[in-house]
Amino acid sequence: MKTIIFATGNKDKMREIREILGGYGAEILSMREAGIISDPDENGKTFEENALIKASAVHEKLPEQYKDAVVLADDSGLVVDAMDGMPGVLSARWMGRDTSYHVKNAQIIENLKDVPVEKRTARFVDAIAAVLPDGTEKTVRGVIEGRIGYEERGENGFGYDPIFMLPDMSVSTAELPPEEKNRISHRGRALRAMAAELFGEQG
Ligand code: IMP
């Protein structure tokens, strides 16, 4: 059985990763479960560069028992066109890591207060990097297009989900049941693309 170690400390991401990759018969561990502590500087300019920084840092620290594990890492964020692509690769750090998303979401709504619906376009992007046991690197990317809403809506998901509306403005990704979000989300798309690379189309 393949062991996959996911280089994240984010519990929300781990939950979505297990929901999506659970069906492929691999053992999925967070880096903490594998006994690895890693927090490299995410100083890349692109989502792909940052995902590779995180995956490589964990690959280099693999303990002997996990030398054959595939290390995955993702880097994701919200790209708002009316904010010149911000918060983008800075999504987790924007306005400070400890600032609540309620405050961050309110700030984005405020920034866009005079922006008409057709210019409120935004997307969630997720790049996933894999470092294979022999050091080979792969990256894939998943995207979901949407628009910034006028208020927070919904209780599911996390982060910027309550203000991220589907393009027709009908629902936010925080209003979708988890299976539905995973089916269409940037992370769902990127994880399935990576699963196809690692396990083949059939899983
Ligand atoms: P990182 O990939 O850990 O650097 O952080 C990505 C950040 O982007 C998260 O902390 C959230 O702020 C945001 N983000 C990424 N994916 C999602 C999502 O599915 N919903 C809401 N916010 C997200």
- The tens digit of pLDDT for each residue in 36-56 reads 999 999 999 999 999 999 999
CB contact at 8 A, 131 and 61? no
Q: Which residue has the higher pLDDT, 9 or 161?
A: 161
The number of the ligand 1 atom at minimal distance from the alpha carbon of 94 is: 12
Q: How confident is the model at residue 203 (pLDDT cuts 50, 70, 90)?
A: very low
- What is the percent of the chain with per-residue pLDDT over 70, rounded to a whole number? 99
- Distance CA(129)–CA(72), nearest Å, equals 6
Rounded to the nearest angstrom, the distance between the alpha carbon of 92 and the centre of ligand 1 is 6
Cis peptide before 178 (omega within 30 of 0): no
The number of the ligand 1 atom at minimal distance from the alpha carbon of 185 is: 19
Mutate to test the pocket of ligand 1, among 91, 155, 172 (most ligand atoms within 8 A of CB): 91
* Cβ of 175 less than 6 Å from ligand 1: no
State yes or no: is 75 an active-site residue: yes
Q: Enter the tokens of residue 185.
A: 């989300």
Given 12, 74, 75, 98, the catalytic residue: 75
Q: How confident is the model at residue 16 (pLDDT cuts 50, 70, 90)?
A: confident
- pTM of the shown model: 0.92
Please give the pLDDT value at position 180: 94
Please give the pLDDT value at position 30: 96
Q: How confident is the model at residue 200 (pLDDT cuts 50, 70, 90)?
A: confident
- Distance CA(135)–CA(31), nearest Å, equals 17
* Cβ of 16 less than 6 Å from ligand 1: no
Rg of the chain's alpha carbons, rounded to an integer? Answer: 17
CB contact at 8 A, 71 and 59? yes
**CB within 8 A of 43, min separation 6: which ones?**
50, 53
Residues 125-153 have pLDDT tens digits of 999 999 999 999 999 999 999 999 999 99
